[in-house]
């Protein structure tokens, strides 16, 4: 049986093959690629930097390590929609302080994903998340919604899992990407195997800087046309974030779901 993470990787690669059939030539003419969290591993496979077999093994290891870290210290994730004058730094600090107790002397609450302006995903200890749900409106939280996940992914609570991934990545054969790849770890281009290795080592506990990566991908003079974009499934969430970050790029995009 596939673990959930492996199933997502396989499904995304299946969507890529479907895109080859539906958009003949478009996939071969790709000028840049990016992937959200686990999707970065998919992007590395597409770009020829990582073999499918090794990507599957790495995904299985990463998923198991993340589940083990979550079992060791429970946590969760919360999407927040923020007012323009929201005080995010104060919100995080206040939630951590409110969660502090003898049994939790060092609470964790951080931004785990930057989705688009005014929308972030927080990750950390459940006690801090519950404080944001109760009291966040005073600091600019317009709405909050829990994610149905089993841990505080892309946060310091995944440090042990990141150590396991980093150890595995050291010996992982990688090649230079055949197309430019913008990493969701830091929104910087990945042009060689060493750069890919550094990003993979940080992919588990570092925040997902998706909004910043989209800005990097689509930055061009205002009068210049946006490139045609193929968004691969499962789900339409990532294409929806593109619409919030760059509506002109969204207009020139299609979703291939499976």
- Residue count (the chain): 258
Active site residue 37: yes
d(CA 27, CA 4): 26
Q: Share the mean pLDDT of the chain.
A: 94
Q: Is the pLDDT of residue 63 over 80?
A: yes
Half-sphere exposure of 217 (CA within 13 A, CB side): 30
DSSP conformation class of 149? -
pLDDT band at 93 (very low <50, low <70, confident <90, very high): very high
pLDDT at 23: 77
From the candidates 12, 154, 183, 253, which is the catalytic residue?
154
From the candidates 12, 37, 183, 253, which is the catalytic residue?
37
d(CA 224, CA 106): 49
Name the residue ranges covered by the structural domains of the chain: 4-69+156-256, 75-146
The CATH topology of domain 4-69+156-256 is Malonyl-Coenzyme A Acyl Carrier Protein; domain 2 (3.40.366)
- Alpha-helical (H) ranges within 100-209 are 126-135, 159-170, 193-202
Kindly state the average pLDDT of the residues 206-210. 98
**By the 8 A CB rule, do 79 and 149 touch?**
no
Cβ neighbours of 221 (radius 10 Å): 5
pTM for this model (two decimals): 0.94
Tens digits of residue pLDDT in 107-147: 999 999 999 999 999 999 999 999 999 999 999 999 999 99
pLDDT at 170: 94
pLDDT band at 184 (very low <50, low <70, confident <90, very high): very high
- Which helix (DSSP H) or strand (DSSP E) does residue 249 occupy? helix 247-251
Write down the CATH superfamily of domain 75-146.
Answer: Malonyl-CoA ACP transacylase, ACP-binding (3.30.70.250)
Tell me which residue of 170, 184, 162 sits closest to 44, measured CA to CA: 184
Burial degree of 40 (CB within 10 A; 0-12, 13-18, 19+):
buried
The torsion defined by the Cα of 194, 198, 203 and 209, in degrees rounded to 10, comes to -100
Half-sphere exposure of 65 (CA within 13 A, CB side): 22
Tell me which residue of 160, 163, 161, 81 sits closest to 122, measured CA to CA: 81
Query: Which residues are CB-contacts of 20 (< 8 A; sequence separation ≥ 6)?
Result: 27
Tokens 């673990």 correspond to 3
Active site residue 12: no
Strands 189-190 and 181-182: antiparallel
Q: Is the pLDDT of residue 2 over 70?
A: no
**By the 8 A CB rule, do 173 and 51 touch?**
yes
DSSP conformation class of 158? G
């Amino acid at each position: 049986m596939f673990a959930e993470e492996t199933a997502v990787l396989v499904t995304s690669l299946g969507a890529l093959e479907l895109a080859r059939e539906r958009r003949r030539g478009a996939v071969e003419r790709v000028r840049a690629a990016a992937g959200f969290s686990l999707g970065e591993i998919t992007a590395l496979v597409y770009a020829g930097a990582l073999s499918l077999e090794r990507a599957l093994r790495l995904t299985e290891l990463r998923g198991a390590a993340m589940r083990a870290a979550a079992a060791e210290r429970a946590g969760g994730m919360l999407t927040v929609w923020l007012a323009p004058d929201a005080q995010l730094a104060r919100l995080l600090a206040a939630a951590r302080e409110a969660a502090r107790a003898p049994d939790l002397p060092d609470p964790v609450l951080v931004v785990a994903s930057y989705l688009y302006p005014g929308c972030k995903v927080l990750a950390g200890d459940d006690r801090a998340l519950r404080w944001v749900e109760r009291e966040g409106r005073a600091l600019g939280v317009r709405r909050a919604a829990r994610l149905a996940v089993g841990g505080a992914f892309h946060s310091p609570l995944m440090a042990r899992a990141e150590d396991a991934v980093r150890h595995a990545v050291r010996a992982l054969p990688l090649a230079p990407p055949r197309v430019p790849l913008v990493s969701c770890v830091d929104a910087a281009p990945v042009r060689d195997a060493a750069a890919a290795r550094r990003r993979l080592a940080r992919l588990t506990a570092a925040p997902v800087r998706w909004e910043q990566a989209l800005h990097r991908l689509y930055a061009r003079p205002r009068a210049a046309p946006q490139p045609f974009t193929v968004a691969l499934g499962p789900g339409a969430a990532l294409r929806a974030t593109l619409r919030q970050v760059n509506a002109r790029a969204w207009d020139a995009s299609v979703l291939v779901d499976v």
